[in-house]
Each structure stands twice: as C-alpha cells, then as structure tokens.
Structure 1
Amino acid sequence: MASTRDWFESVAEAQRRAKRRLPKGVYLALVAGSEAGVTMNDNVAAFGELGFRPRVADLRTDRELATTVMGQDISFPVLISPTGVQAVDPDGEVAVARAAAAAGTAMGLSSFASKPVEEVATANDKLFFQSYWLGDRDAILARAERARAAGAKGLIITLDWVFDSRRDWGSPFIPETLDLKAMARYAPQVAVRPGYLLQWLRHGKLPDLGVPNLVGPGEEAPTFFGAYGQWMTSPLPTWEDLAWLRAEWGGPFMVKGITHPDDARRAVDIGATAISVSNHGGNNLDSTPATIRLLPAVADAVGDQIEILLDGGIRRGSDVVKALALGARAVMIGRAYLWGLAAGGEKGVSNVLAILRSGIEEALLGVGRSSIHQLGPEDLTIPAGFSPNFRKD
C-alpha cells in the first residue's frame, strides 16, 4: 500500500520522516558510524550484491515464518536489537517493547536504555537483557540478576566496540545532562522541529539521558557519558571471564559482536546459546566488512552447534531472507526500528515490523519456498569474492 499520513511503506520512508521530525543532532546520533563510515555503508550496500534465483510455478501459498531464538518462540525471524538511550520518543523502549510483543517477537534491552528493565519487561515477556563488560564481575552479575528478577529470559553480552568515536564528518553534540547550557545550545535545532519538543512536553518531561539499569532499582542513575567512561576504563574481558558469566547466568546466553570464525568457535567452547554476527552497526573498527559478508564463514565454522543471528544493515524483508539463506537463524534490527519510533512512536515500530514481515513473505514466494527453514545458499546468486577468506596459510 502507498504511504499515507499514518503509514509508511518502506524503512527508507521511516528514515525520511525521522529526519524531518528530529532535531539535527538527535537524528545524526542515529545514523552515526565510526571514522569514514566504510563499514556502516557496506552493511547496507552488501545486500544489494546478493541476488535471488526466482521460481515461477508449483509455488505454495502458505508461509512458515516462525522460529525460536534462545528458547523463545517468535512469529517471524526479526528481533529488536538493544540500542542505548532512546531519546527519539518519550515512551522509548517501552513503546518498542509493546510493538515487538504485538508482532510476536523478542526484544533485546540495552543496559544503557532510558527505561528500567522492570518497566520494559512488563510490556514484553520475551525480553533479553544486554550488558557490556562494564565494572567488575560482581557489578556485571548484579545487573544480570536484576534483569532476571524482572523477567529477562536471556542475557546478551556485547563485545563489538573499540571506543572509536571519531567521525570524518564530525560527531553530533550530545550533552551530559539537559541543563540550561545544553538546552540553549540545542534551542536553534528544536525551534525548527517544534513537534519534537511539544511531544515531550505533553508527557510532562524532557529527554532523560540517565541509564537506570546500571544501578539498583530506585538508585540515582548515572548519565550516559558517566557510564560510558566507566565502560571505557573497565578491564577488557577474557574468554575465561565470559565462560564464568555464562555459567553464573545459567540460562540462554548470547555473545554479540562476532565477526571472525575463531571467535565463533570460542563462543561454542564456553557454552553460549547464540552469537550475533555484528559490527555494532558500523560503530566498531571501521573497514570491517559488512556482517552479511562475514556470515558464511561463521556459519561454516560453527554450523548447527550454536544459534547464529545477524545484526547490521537490515532494511527490507528480502535482506532477512538473504541472511537466513546464508546461515542465520534470525536477524536483529536497530536503526530501522529507531526510525520507526521517531516517525510514529509505537505505531511506527509496528509499521517497520509489518514491512519486514511482508517482505519476508514476498521473497519466500519469489524463491519458491514455503518456510524460512528451507532457505539455503542455492536460493541466492553470490558473486565471486563476496565473503572474506579466513583460511590460514
């Protein structure tokens, strides 16, 4: 259906509406990539290098999209990836959780989220809590146990980050807190996007840059940059650390940030339930290849020993189908749902999920498959040299 005031027909249209609505600095924070943005752009462009092999007769009319991820049944193979402080909408992660629940899928909640895990878990019981390796073992485990008590069904440990915040085009100004000085600096941007401010005022508040899930319930939350500084100065984890956390957690456990087959094998060795092939949306080491290029080698290395997800560059349902054909069980989306949230709140997120679901169904029909579980590399045309060669000399 064509786009209307209350409906957009593509993720690209959601992005355009988000850009029109958000102050410039807020929008730029959503589209930021490290350094020259080589990886960020390749995450999207690489999908265009993969083609389909359509079939035209004896096609089934039914479509099986359901699968399971970390013990949770989901209605289609798209999950919400954890993203930090969602200042694009007053309801933030709670709105996202409600939209995901309505679509029958799971949500990853960032430890840097703007809403407490207890509130988000009430909106979606298929919740995975994400943590960075921030602080000592006791602090990391305490955050995980708080999430478990709130109802989190799985733990995601994110490792794909080298603290590289340099942007060739310049980083947007993000204040430590919204004090008078920060508001004065943002005032010219907000003046030309009055709808953004009015929406927050109708909720009786301004965007909150605190991160409540890094402390106990009811304790004063650190600011985003305060937490970021602590993360940057925490000792880097070892595989022994990760094995300890996996054992202490004792439930479904995902390692997010895998790009190398050797790391995928190590995740299997420590007993992880799942891995996400991810480069932090292009915000990790720039010039890392797109995750879809890295997926085949990871899938070849660990096969069915562990659940494999892909995160990065998903903009269409056909992208999801390509990822599944190359070995992913499901995908996680980030910018796509944030643009939907900015464009239309909870309804905008639901809109994005509906676009992806219908796109998956259409692509399945085109390649002659009645189930996502039938997909394989034979459904694609893959150019020579598409994936990096990880063989050792």
Structure 2
Amino acid sequence: MAKNPWARNPWFETVGEAQRRAKKRLPKSVYSSLVAGTQAGVTVTDNTQAFNEIGFAPHVIGVQPDRELATSVMGQDISFPVIISPTGVQAVDPDGEVAVARAAAARGTAMGLSSFASHPVEEVTEVNDKIFFQIYWLGSRDEILERVERARAAGAKGLIVTTDWVFNVGRDWGSPEIPEKVDFQALLKLAPEIALKPRYALDWVRGGKVIIPDLTAPNVSAPGQPGPTFFGVYGQWMNTPPPTWEDLQWLREQWGGPFMVKGITRLDDAKRAVDIGASAISVSNHGGNNLDGTPATIRVLGPIADAVGHDVEVLLDGGIRRGSDVTKALALGARAVMIGRAYLWGLAANGQTGVENVLDLLRMGLDSSLMGLGRKSVHELSRDDLVLPENFERSFGHI
C-alpha cells in the first residue's frame, strides 16, 4: 500500500512543534494547565525569553569531530546533562509518569518523580532505576518520613525537596478550573471540550474500557492504599507550616543519601543549602508558578554557581526549550538542567515516543552547540563561550 503523503510525521523537529501538537490534541482545560503561570506571567515569560538575550562566541577552526556529553547528577551517570523535573498529576496521557520514566531510561537519563504523581513510585522505579523522589513539606515529620522510606524501599536514588512555592489565590494565571475528582458530574461538565478532541478521548479507551484520569496522589498514602484527591492533599500542604533550614537538615540526615534542595534563587539560600549538607541545588522559580516577578533562573544561575559550585552540584530548572539553552546553562556553571513543560508537551503530543523525541532534540541541539563552539566536552564550557549583555545577570542575598 502506498504511503499517504499527507499523513502526519510522528517525529517533530522542535519543542515548539511538540507544544503545537499538544495544544491540538488536548482539551482546552488540560492544555491550559501546562502553560499557566502566576499572576501576570512575568516570570514564566522571562524564563524563556532571557535565553534569547545570550549569544555565542563560536570557533570556526578546530571543530572537534567527536564530543562527550555524558555527566552525572547526584551519583547517577547520565548520557547527557538533561534530567526530568518532577511534575504532578500528568493527566495528559494514560501512562503518565510511567511513560516518562521509560523514555528517560531509553535515553539514558534520570527522572524526578513528584510526590503528587498520578502513578505510584513502585511502578515508576520498576521501569527506570535512576529515580529521584520529590517531596513537599506536607504533614508531620513522621508522615514525611513514611513517604521517604517508601521511596527508599522502592529504589529511589535521591531525594528532591521542593521549596519554591507561594500559596496565592491568584496563582496559575490562565489556568482553568480543575475538578477535585473525575466523576460523572465532572465528565459531563468537560464533555464539550473532550468532544472536540476525539484523539485524546480515544487514548483513554483500552480493551473496550474507559480509563478515568487519576487526580489522586497515590504516593502520599501507604502502598496499595487509595491516595487522597489532589485538592485534598493540596489543602493539607497549605495548612502545614513551611519547613525551616533545621527541618531540611533533619530530613537530609534521615535520608542519608543524595539530597537536592529545589527552589534556590538567592545566594544566601544557596549557601545555607551547602551548610545543611545538600548534595545538589536546583536554581528554580517553579517554572514561573511561584512568586511572579522573580527573575528568570538563567539570570541568577551564574552568580550562584560562582559562589557555591565548588561545594555542591548546581542544576538549572526553567525555560529550557532548545539544546542551545542547555549549552548556555552549562557555560554559566550548571552541572545539568531539569525540564518540565518541554517533556509534558512531548508526552501530550505522542506519549513515550514524544518524550524521547524531546530528549533527542535537546541532545542534538547541545551537540551542535558544542561543535560550533569548538568544544570536545560539556565539561569544557565556560563564560568565554557566551556573549552576555551588560546587566544580564541578577544577584541578591549576601553571603
């Protein structure tokens, strides 16, 4: 049979195309939740646009024929310096976090798994042995420790503590109303949106049965027990006093293994993370879903890496859309980057294969950048490879 010349190529050439396909496939409410930002969306916009202000200083002679991309993060060897950032409730695809974990394993990299994930940690570690379990400061110390020990028993290799969050009624600029649970009433309300996206609806039908998207958090409960609803656990989180540095040090000691503090934008906070014995920090503003007006993470990365990069692994989270963005972050001192929206768009566009597609694009773009800069290894990148505008960087919090 002749190939249909009008059939859509399952491979997409850019992360922007993955986003376009995600928008085309997903119901409006689901897609909106992937692009929303806090308040006026200043930070979520700056996270991506700031990368465009940075130029390269290429070498046209001495191009290296083979380039080394491999590195390690929190004791785990990875094939290139991009890992999956933890995001909760991945209802864009029935396999959710399991599909993402398989994709990361297929491309030789690690994954952060949210404690608000829609699949149990045991299912995710079964398909990828490089899982870092993410945890919020939720409930009592005993309850937190129970979740930590469950992750350890499942085989998690590291712990990520997310600290960058603001409980604000104006959060999620542009975000739709999300039902507390997907029941008949919720489905009836969403029916007009779903009817316009038949491919999305059909993806949730398997073996003649409809799979209801899971809006619970199974990793917050005991193994095998039904998880609370997302909004139920969110409410508990809002009513738990935020952690102190002493709390984080206690948790780091209880865990006893690789430990990342996620949400650092200040120099003094970076130094405190070093002082409590953290293995890594993530320079992050929660993808623009935290305190709007916070500078793009790429603007604050360099000063933080300069200050503590010899004492702790520094990662960047926020705004990565191209392999060249990864290159810029590494040149400013990041050991690796974490991606969020980019892989979720890939998942929405084409499931596990779509996530692999996104990872391939970032890897190829990084490799091309190294070639243009005349670098043989990601570990050779430095500020000398960049053209930074005057006053591009931001630095606050004295140490």
Q: Mark yes or no: TM-score above 0.5.
A: yes
1:36 aligns to what? 40
Aligned identity (percent) is 69
The Cα of 1:330 is off from its aligned counterpart by 0.1
Structure 2 length-normalised TM: 0.96
Contact kept, 8 Å, 2:180 with 2:215, in 1: the verdict is yes
In 1: Cα distance, 2:307 partner to 2:172 partner: 35
2:197 aligns to what? 193
| Structure 1: runs of 5 or more not aligned | none
Question: Which of 364, 368, 375 is the aligned partner of 2:381?
Answer: 375
Is 1:355 equivalent to 2:361 in the alignment?
Answer: yes
The letter of the residue matching 1:282 is: G
Structure 1 length-normalised TM: 0.97
* SS of residue matched to 1:305: coil
Question: Which of 66, 74, 84 is the aligned partner of 2:70?
Answer: 66
* SS of residue matched to 1:304: coil
In 2: Cα distance, 1:391 partner to 1:190 partner: 47
The Cα of 1:171 is off from its aligned counterpart by 3.0
1:129 aligns to what? 133
Q: Aligned ranges for residues 214-363 of structure 1 at < 5 Å?
A: 214-363=220-369
1:101-123 alpha-carbon deviations (Å, 9 max, x no partner): 00000000000000000000001
State the number of aligned residues: 391
Question: Which of 173, 179, 182 is the aligned partner of 1:175?
Answer: 179
The letter of the residue matching 1:117 is: V
RMSD between superposed Cα atoms in Å: 1.4
Contact kept, 8 Å, 2:267 with 2:395, in 1: the verdict is no
* SS of residue matched to 1:130: strand
In 2: Cα distance, 1:391 partner to 1:154 partner: 28
1:59-90 alpha-carbon deviations (Å, 9 max, x no partner): 11111000010000000000000000000000
Contact kept, 8 Å, 2:36 with 2:173, in 1: the verdict is no
The Cα of 1:391 is off from its aligned counterpart by 7.0
* Structure 1 moving runs of 4+ over 2 Å: 167-171, 389-393
1:332-367 alpha-carbon deviations (Å, 9 max, x no partner): 000000000000000000000000000000000011
The Cα of 1:169 is off from its aligned counterpart by 5.3
1:174-231 alpha-carbon deviations (Å, 9 max, x no partner): 0001112211110110010011111101263111101100011111210011110011
Contact kept, 8 Å, 1:129 with 1:147, in 2: the verdict is yes
The Cα of 1:390 is off from its aligned counterpart by 2.7
The letter of the residue matching 2:45 is: N
The Cα of 1:389 is off from its aligned counterpart by 3.8
Given the superposition, is the C-alpha separation of residues 62 and 170 from structure 1 closer, same or farther in structure 2, using an over 3 Å criterion? closer
The Cα of 1:303 is off from its aligned counterpart by 2.3
Given the superposition, is the C-alpha separation of residues 251 and 172 from structure 1 closer, same or farther in structure 2, using an over 3 Å criterion? same
Contact kept, 8 Å, 1:34 with 1:165, in 2: the verdict is no
Contact kept, 8 Å, 1:253 with 1:272, in 2: the verdict is yes
1:253-309 alpha-carbon deviations (Å, 9 max, x no partner): 000000001000000000000000000000000000000001011112212100000
Contact kept, 8 Å, 2:64 with 2:374, in 1: the verdict is yes
| Structure 2: runs of 5 or more not aligned | 1-6
